[in-house]
Chains A and B, each alone.
Chain A
Amino acid sequence: MSKSRLNFKANTLPAIVMVGPVVVIMVLLIAVPLIYVGIMSSCSIDEFYNVTYNFTLENYIRLANQDYLKIYSQSICIAFITTLICILIGYPFSYFIARTKSKKKKILYMLVIIPFWTNSLIRIYGWRTFLGTNGWLNIILQLLNITDEPIDFLYKTGATVLGMVYCLIPFMILPLYTSIEKLDVTLLEASSDLGAGSMKTFVNVILPLTSGGIFSGSLMVFIPCLGYFFVSDILGGGNSDVIGNLIERQFQGGNNWPLGAALSIVLIVVTLALVKVYQKLGGDMDALGV
């Protein structure tokens, strides 16, 4: 055995060569930028929008601005509604594909995965084309004489929520699918045997035992939903901004990088706090895929 160990060592590159590149990439592309964002958030800008490196908490104080608070609550509201809709659509769907014995199971599962292969920005543009006043949906509605004039679907909070649900529902379905598939069928039989109808079995057995999936799915929908600025940009047209829009604007048009950095830091902290709560409630970190 010791010989094979020696061979193993002799046939393997030194640890520094094996792990080194990963460490370098992690440090350069994740740690350094994060530290940079942290430093940036405590800087200020002069009248020409140049970043001056000094330490101040002014940016964080500015975040408590009335207008910003409105957007935070609006963003949280959108994220909450999106998560709720994802659960309501995702749960029955996941339940069906996890429990069905038909051969369609694989096809249905693939239908969830395939959209990932196309860039989500392009797919959201697709929705804009579909929903626009000259879009297919309006053409079809007019052909069917359901409406005389094109209906304005776009640039409303509803359109943003639709886009968010569309983009994020796979993140709800996959953890739900896993938790429902793990559910032992004999538990449902036992419940039925002891006198519970299907509704009581659902409330007393199925729901509590799949709550982990619901919770990790919710986390994976809720958090990105706060940041997916392109969805509200393209479909919401500035009427339903999320926190991501605020950040984007500070870096782009607003040209106020320190403020944007402070917002990013707050979003990261909120995200970590939510993950911590999830962990505290007994959530499985593997289910999040992190």
Chain B
Amino acid sequence: MDKIVELNGVNKVYGTNRVVKDLNLFVEEGEFLTLLGSSGCGKTTTLRMIAGFEEPTTGTIKVQGENVEAKEPFERNVNTVFQSYALFPHMTIYENIAYGLKVKKVSKAEIKKSVLEMLDLVQLNGFEHRYPSQLSGGQKQRVAIARALINHPKVLLLDEPLGALDLKLRKQMQLELKRLQKKLNITFIYVTHDQEEALTMSDRIAVMHDGVIDQLASPTEIYEHPKTKFVATFIGETNIYDGCITSIKGEIANITLENGEVSVKCPEDFSILEYASVSVRPEKMKFSTKKVDGFGLVAQVKDYVYVGSVLKCIVALPNGNELKIERLAGQELPKVGSKCYPYWNPEDAVLIHNESHYIFEALNNIKLA
């Protein structure tokens, strides 16, 4: 597949604030890529640089192999769907959608054909003579999408387009957007802070944190094999603890945590005595009334929370840390207040390099010396 958008060493600095740091990103043609992160992580700035509303301080941006960083937004073959919809309030829906063709001086007959086609695509036939103020949030969003698509852009940029919609409508629009993207085979670059949305829609997710892409991978990969502590905690719920790898036997590593030792499947790039974090999803956690081989955690059942399909158990470790464990409702469970032994299948847990392990090592070296 071809790279349709390329960002190379892009930095964006506002005053003394470095919002985007040495960003490298390649977007493949026809894919649905999501920039995911909490507010202030630089995801919207990145999108705005691709759209042309912001200029990168340093670095290059290529669209279809052509450098665009000095080009105006209207000179790039990308279009944007804005979070606030940004529909022109003084124009009808028809005029709004036709705008991109009108400024290009396309003939009236052709405009009409295209606009009706677009209205059909977003299922808003018959709305052409209304004004944006007469539409609901979801309908406005569809108009914004139709307006952005009428120029047949190579890339569609979407800046939290569903942010203002209620949950039910948002879920429906997510599926619809995905359907639209597949049908038109256009590259979508989608910005959101909603991790569920990202997991549902994307081909690939770039998790951004503090101006840097922490991990760029498929939703499954991101969920099951997070590369950093931030990714592990940001995507879904997880139990995460720091510890030291004390032994590696074949594929299994023994990690000593503050509360005891645990076993985790160990990838090749980890070595003995390294400080690392262990992340286990609540649905992968188990607990037993007897001690399990390779696990030294002892905990007390604190509470059960019924959330419909599953039962969430909260168990407390001796140092006060809590673990979240998800069980299917209806199973027999230890009583609140009783002792239990949390464990998991070693391959269900993920070992993550601790970003600060170099500091621990340095401290150790000092101690040894």
Contact = CB atoms under 8 A, between A and B. Distances in A.
B74 A186 contact: no
A187 B86 CA distance: 5
A14 interface: no
Contacts of A197: 72, 74
Contacts of B103: 191, 194-196, 200, 204
The DSSP consensus for interface residues of chain B is: loop
Interface string A185-204: 01101111111110010001
Interface residues of A, number: 17
Contacts of A190: 80, 82, 86-88, 147
Interface in A171-225: 184, 186-187, 189-197, 200, 204-205, 208-209
B15 interface: no
A184 B89 CA distance: 10
B84 A194 contact: no
Interface in A147-168: none
A166 to B, nearest CB: 33
Contact of A193 (B51, B88, B89, B102): B51
B64 interface: no
Interface in B337-354: none
Nearest to A187: B86
Given A187-B88, A209-B89, A194 B82 contact: no
Nearest to A200: B103
B74 A196 contact: yes
A253 to B, nearest CB: 51
- Which of A186, A190, A192, A209 has the most chain B CB atoms inside 10 A of its CB? A190
Nearest to B82: A186
Interface in B41-81: 51-53, 72-74, 79-80
Contacts of A192: 52-53, 72-74
Nearest to A190: B86
Interface in B97-127: 99-100, 102-104
A187 B53 CA distance: 12
B183 interface: no
Contacts of B100: 194-195
A195 B74 contact: yes
Contacts of B129: none
- Which of A187, A197, A200, A209 has the most chain B CB atoms inside 10 A of its CB? A187
B151 interface: yes
B90 interface: yes
B151 A186 contact: no
Nearest to A188: B86
Contacts of A205: 88
Contacts of A191: 88, 99, 103
A95 B102 CA distance: 26
Contacts of A187: 86, 88
A189 B52 CA distance: 9
B157 to A, nearest CB: 9
Interface string B146-179: 0110010000000000000000000000000000
Given A190-B88, A192-B73, A205-B88, 10 more contacts: A187-B88, A189-B86, A190-B82, A190-B86, A193-B73, A194-B151, A195-B151, A196-B103, A197-B72, A197-B74
8 contacts: A189-B73, A191-B99, A192-B72, A193-B53, A195-B100, A204-B102, A209-B89, A209-B90
Interface of A: 184, 186-187, 189-197, 200, 204-205, 208-209
